[in-house]
Amino acid sequence: RPTVIVNGCEGEPPSLKDTVLLTRAPHLVLDGAFLAAAALGAEAVAIGVARPRAEACVRAALAERGLGRGGGRSLRRRRGPRTDVVRVPERMVSGEASALLRAVRGGPALPAGTRGHATDEGVLLCNAETYAQLAVAARLGADAYAATGIPAEPGTLLLTLSGGVPATTVVEAPTGTPLAYLLQALGAAPDLSGVLIGGYHGAWVDRYAAQEVALSHTTLAAHGRTLGAGAVLPLPAATCPLGETARVAHWLAAESAGQCGPCRLGLPTLAAQLDAVVRGGGQAALEALRDSAQSVRGRGACKHPDGSSRMVLSALAAFTDDLAAHVLGAGCGRPVLGVLPLPGTPGTPGAGGSTEPPPDAVEGPPAARLTVDWTLCEAHGLCADLLPEAVRLDADGYPSRTDTPLPAHLTGRARQAVHRCPALALRLMR
């Protein structure tokens, strides 16, 4: 019999829409999930979450429905499907469909390593917003639901706006809303370099295209773009757009599951080569970057390499003037201000539209980081051999970047790299 899975595992820093739904309107999501289960005759409903507050709110909502008595993870109504709440690590790859499916079945929240679709296994797997929209459509009826939005795609969208806006905000907008109108309404600076649409697996549009794009799946597809995680990130002109993209590329590389070559080796190489371009590495560095971005696409165990390379390549297309300035060696002349949110940085979105980190972000120990004592480092390069996901070497053999927060699954190898550093120059800090 079929299984219905709710994907509420947002492991991407600029995406909060599903978290807001699960913490502010969990019954709406559950209504949609149980409607789908009834239509399919499903034997089980599983709700996947990554953030502690989302888990607590979903469990409380289930208890209000009489599903929380007994305190166990697996709950069953007198008539209806068994209901599970599954907590996964808060990582980018945890929300990948096959990773969540493995977690629901008791395995690790890592991609399965084989391409396929959940429906092939009798599973309906959608994000929390999809089930909430289903519940709204069922309550309103088809005609009333279609009264909002564009005819080809009726209804509304939930979007998380962060980056170059005064406050990170989750908004509901009718499909077809002009991007320029939304940015103006939320106080984005008028002087932008571009806008990242779809989150860190999305794609950049330049400032001119941002004035013309409307927000719907169909209209964005016509521009070769996708809404992805529903994250929209305007970038102020005051910061270096390629440097901002490089920061995110390093974080994406560190978020790898480490199960395949394109993730384990390809993404750190991609991030390091983008660094080389930003530092003025010339046409050779740019060609190496393009080659690396193309080489990881379609070859990974999941879509993480594809999305990461798409984001990087779109930056090269959107910021052509800046790219030319960096390739020629002089650079764009602007600092990297860290506008794009990453874990542990000021302005990273918090639940409920706050620019402060979410309360659950400080419940556990802070993410570990590798640092280098440059007075001791002798460029042996052993750290890059032991931890290629997080350490890349520059042209002289020295670590080029080691300040990215380490995912928990890399901490053990990071300690090994610290202990084996011949010059005792590597440190693991929190």
Considering the domain 155-239 in this protein, what is its CATH number? Answer: 3.10.20.600
Considering the domain 365-430 in this protein, what is its CATH number? Answer: 3.30.70.20
The CATH superfamily label for domain 3-146 reads NADH-ubiquinone oxidoreductase 51kDa subunit (3.40.50.11540)
Decide: 36 and 4 in contact? Cβ < 8 Å: yes
State pTM to two decimals: 0.78
Within the chain, all domains assigned CATH 3.30.70.20 are found at 365-430
C-alpha 257/C-alpha 254 separation (Å) is 9
Q: What is the pLDDT of residues 124-177, one digit of tens each?
A: 999 999 999 999 999 999 999 999 999 999 999 999 999 999 999 999 999 999
C-alpha 207/C-alpha 213 separation (Å) is 10
Identify which has the larger pLDDT, 421 or 304: 304
Within the chain, all domains assigned CATH 1.20.1440.230 are found at 240-338
Quick check: 325 pLDDT over 80? Answer: yes
* Fold observed for domain 240-338: de novo design (two linked rop proteins) (1.20.1440)
Give me the pLDDT at residue 377, please.
85
**CB-side neighbour CA atoms (13 Å) of 278:** 22
Residue 221 falls in which region: left (phi positive, over 0), alpha (psi -120 to 50) or beta = alpha
Q: How many distinct helices (H) and strands (E) make up the chain?
A: 16, 18
Q: What is the mean pLDDT of residues 164-192?
A: 94
Q: What is the pLDDT of residues 354-373, one digit of tens each?
A: 333 343 333 334 467 888 88
Residue ranges in 213-351 assigned as alpha helix (H): 217-222, 241-254, 261, 267-278, 282-296, 304-318, 320-327
